[in-house]
Amino acid sequence: MFDFIIPFVILILVVVFIHEYGHYYFAKKYGVGVTDFSIGFGQEIFGWNDKSGTRWKICWIPLGGYVKFFGDRNVFSQADQEKILQKYNEEDRKKLFVLKPLYQRVLIVFGGPLANFLLALVIFFSIYTFVGKDFTPAVINEVQKNSPAMVGGLKQDDIIIEIDGNKVESIMDVSKYITMSTADFIDFKVKRSYDELLLKIKPNLVLSEDNLGNKINKRIVGIKLGAYNNEINHVKLGPAKAIYHAAHEVYYVSISSLKYLGGMIVGKADSSQLGGPIRIAKISGQVAEFGVLAFISMMAYISISLGLVNLFPIPMLDGGHLMFYAFEKVLGRPLSQKTQESFFRIGLILLISLMFFTTFNDLKDLGLFK
């Protein structure tokens, strides 16, 4: 497990720094005072003060970070602006986050998740530009006997065009789209000779291992793939195509993640695959062994996940604050402190429950629970 600590810390440092810098950037843009920029929680390991008085620091618990604004006493301070006006002089009031116009507060809060999505976009763009993207058509070389694929009508030499409406641009897309599907049947659109056919395949759920040796419940259809005409088509893209495909990947991962979480809520997706910091640490260490490219790619996916989760309308997350701002816009005033406190208690319970659930999955993944 200790072999995974360094890759995990590097990944968290980068992804969390980018997230918090998104908040910091918009805060400085709109004149909000920033007293602390922290990566990690708990006791400070080391830090420094910049010219504007911000304390930049690294702390011992590398499971997140925060940006603390000038005069940020509590999360309910928007509801008691009269007390704030009495406490601070006119010069200091200009640096207070809670007294900024609503649209500026929204952008400051949204800046964190936005920065995570932009980081993933930059990573994918860089990979597609300098390393390349695979465009090898996926051809079925073999259909296993009595498999879901055979029952559903897939045949040898079929070229897979789409899966669940997603265009299959390479062999690598097939496994990704099958894994991320949550419906009982997976729609395969294939080219057979000169015809295009739409077939519905009901996958089997099999306890298996991923490429890193981790046990997962895998959706299996029973096909073996090969390259069309045995030719690998790996292409370095120009800027326009690279940004298009990078944006598409960020969009696809975001939408698929939401569908998967929705599937877990209604009991259609495998909740055992939902992991927390321990699983991320384990996988980041395993991926690092495959090289820098694989590790950087994983960083992009983790960054998307962090940005997405923070947008959930749960108090204590960025999305919870945005939810409060939506109420403020509709009502013309902030919610009362009592109402916000009630929401935050609910949010705390939800987050603690999620933390225990993911930790249990992590420990079960390590073999500590059966």
Q: What residues are annotated to the active site? A: 20
Contact status, residue 236 vs residue 129, Cβ threshold 8 Å: yes
Contact status, residue 42 vs residue 61, Cβ threshold 8 Å: yes
State the distance between the two ends of the chain, measured CA to CA, in whole angstroms.
19
Q: How far apart are CA 117 and CA 308, in angstroms?
A: 8
Contacts of 51 (CB under 8 A, 6+ apart): none
Q: How far apart are CA 237 and CA 304, in angstroms?
A: 22
Contacts of 137 (CB under 8 A, 6+ apart): 159, 170, 171, 227, 228, 233
Contact status, residue 323 vs residue 32, Cβ threshold 8 Å: no
Phi and psi of 219, rounded to 5°?
Answer: -85, 120
Both tokens of residue 368? 């500590």
